[in-house]
Amino acid sequence: MRYDSITDAIGNTPLVRIDPAVHGLRSIDLYAKLEMLSPFGSVKDRTAWNMARPELAAAVESGSQIVELSSGNTAKALAVIAGMHGLRFKSVTNRMRIPEIKELLLLLGAEIEELPGQSECLDPTNTEDPLTLFHQALSGSDSPLLHTDQYFNPRNIQAHAAGTGPEIITDLGGAPDWFIACVGTAGSSTGVATVLRAHDPSVRVVGLVAAKSDFIPGIRTRDEVHEVGLFDPRTYDSIEEVDSGEAIDGMVTLIRRCGMLAGPTGGAAYFGALRHLREIDATLTERKTAVFIVCDRVESYLSYIRHRRPELLGGTRARHAIGDLTAAEVAAAPAISVQDARPWIDAVRPLVIDLRSTFAYSALHMAGAVNIVDEIFGELLRGGLPFSLKQPVLLACPVGEQSARYAALLTRMGHPDCRSLTGGIVAWRDAGAPLERD
């Protein structure tokens, strides 16, 4: 294969059958569409190139900077494409949670601007959410910008309707019976689903999202997915949740048993596909076919894996980790309402731990609160309790979900008086309780 430009090598990715001895399905041939083998490393290469390509000549002419709301694969691909054309690229993102992806983006020449998450509850007098601020900054910018706008740009969907979907049909000699994909911007699943259904309306499409309050890098939770401009629930016959543990289990099987060095969303897609198909498989009398997407590779996620499954990287499994909590433990976590918390704070002077980002904390916080960002608090607890059992503790996060998990963990560790602030800093703010700024 000879190419004039690396961008000509985007797409035409392999469709590889998973060994039935690994997946165990009797009547379904399961195929992985290996988007991780695209030159910049992911399914988003097609999206980035299709969005940027028609604008590049004008951008070069005006010296525009490419900007995109992305903390991962779209940013990686755009950074490379920008560099190849002598343009600058800026990635605007909520908190960057995977350090090696941030470092890789910097290595690729990206500028990074981190915005706080909308749910982090900043200054209550500022009603503008971070996305609005981003769009204001775009329109108010003095220098020319090329905003590729992956969450709204129809060329995101089109990249997959023109490439990924038709490739699957060609390779299988028809549409599969099921198509299973993780949903981030919804571009790849929508583009592929549209083409498959046009070929055969009976194709069933399963969209996978991360479980509520969980984090699988690259995809959205069931609640978050509705904020995406390209997302249309009618694209999917069902939307199903995968949690980070299941994604890692699926990923390890793809890596160790199938030779596919997939990242967590590839693992989520494999796990979600099998869970969906297993029961159906038992009822089938003729052969069927299913395809799932492996979006990217594992190497960028080592810290994510170390955090959740240290034993996979030669470490020892943490004795105290929120990933090990049961739903019942989290549901039973000690909590306190804003109304009850105020006299309780005055009476027992608990250690107030604010689990939000440093950005959100420094904008506004409860008096006397210390800021330990949730992931760092998780790391601290792996070593044991960092405060006395006699010290009452109040945990606060944006809406009371993360703090409930940590309150459950502290309870499991034997802490007799730790509580999660119900409704989090948002509820505290909405009740008019005092917040301060340094």
Ligand X SMILES: Cc1ncc(COP(=O)(O)O)c(C=O)c1O
The residues that touch ligand X, with contacts defined as CB under 6 A, are 42-44, 72-74, 182-189, 218-219, 263, 265, 295-296
Least distance in angstroms from the C-beta of 216 to ligand X: 8
Helix orientation angle between 44-52 and 187-199, rounded to the nearest 10 degrees: 90
Beta bridge partners of 335: 420
Least distance in angstroms from the C-beta of 148 to ligand X: 13
Least distance in angstroms from the C-beta of 159 to ligand X: 9
Least distance in angstroms from the C-beta of 274 to ligand X: 18
Least distance in angstroms from the C-beta of 393 to ligand X: 35
Q: Which is nearer to ligand X, 35 or 177 (CB)?
A: 35
Q: Which is nearer to ligand X, 298 or 399 (CB)?
A: 298
- In degrees, rounded to 5, the angle at the alpha carbon of residue 144 between the alpha carbons of residues 143 and 147 is 125
* Strand (E) or helix (H) holding 167: helix 165-172
Q: Which is nearer to ligand X, 7 or 73 (CB)?
A: 73
Q: Which is nearer to ligand X, 44 or 405 (CB)?
A: 44
Residue 93 contacts by C-beta under 8 Å, 6 or more apart in sequence?
69, 70, 71, 75, 112, 113, 114, 115
Give the span between the Cα atoms of 366 and 350, in whole angstroms.
Answer: 12
Pairing of strands 238-242, 28-34: unpaired
Give the span between the Cα atoms of 64 and 144, in whole angstroms.
Answer: 5
Give the 3-state secondary structure of residue 229.
coil
Tokens of 247: 């994604």
Q: Which is nearer to ligand X, 261 or 380 (CB)?
A: 261
Least distance in angstroms from the C-beta of 135 to ligand X: 19
- DSSP character for 50? H
Q: Which is nearer to ligand X, 115 or 295 (CB)?
A: 295
Least distance in angstroms from the C-beta of 131 to ligand X: 16
Give the span between the Cα atoms of 302 and 209, in whole angstroms.
Answer: 21
H helical segments located in 230-389: 244-258, 264-283, 302-308, 327-331, 338-348, 358-363, 374-382
- In degrees, rounded to 5, the angle at the alpha carbon of residue 59 between the alpha carbons of residues 56 and 61 is 110
Q: Which is nearer to ligand X, 44 or 419 (CB)?
A: 44
Least distance in angstroms from the C-beta of 107 to ligand X: 18
* Strand (E) or helix (H) holding 371: strand 370-371
Least distance in angstroms from the C-beta of 79 to ligand X: 14
Q: Which is nearer to ligand X, 222 or 320 (CB)?
A: 222
Tokens of 314: 């030669």
Query: In this chain, which residue has its C-beta nearest to ligand X?
Result: 218
Q: What is the DSSP string of 309-327?
A: -GGGGT----SS-GGG--H
Least distance in angstroms from the C-beta of 181 to ligand X: 7
Q: Which is nearer to ligand X, 48 or 290 (CB)?
A: 48
- DSSP character for 355? -
Rg over CA atoms, the chain: 23
**Measured CA distances, 397 to 4, 257, 376 (Å):** 51, 39, 13
Q: Which is nearer to ligand X, 302 or 389 (CB)?
A: 302
Beta bridge partners of 91: 68, 112
Q: Which is nearer to ligand X, 11 or 218 (CB)?
A: 218
Residues in the chain: 438
Give the span between the Cα atoms of 274 and 272, in whole angstroms.
Answer: 6
Least distance in angstroms from the C-beta of 43 to ligand X: 6
For 34-43, give one letter per residue: b (16+ CB within 10 A) or e.
bbbbbbbbbb
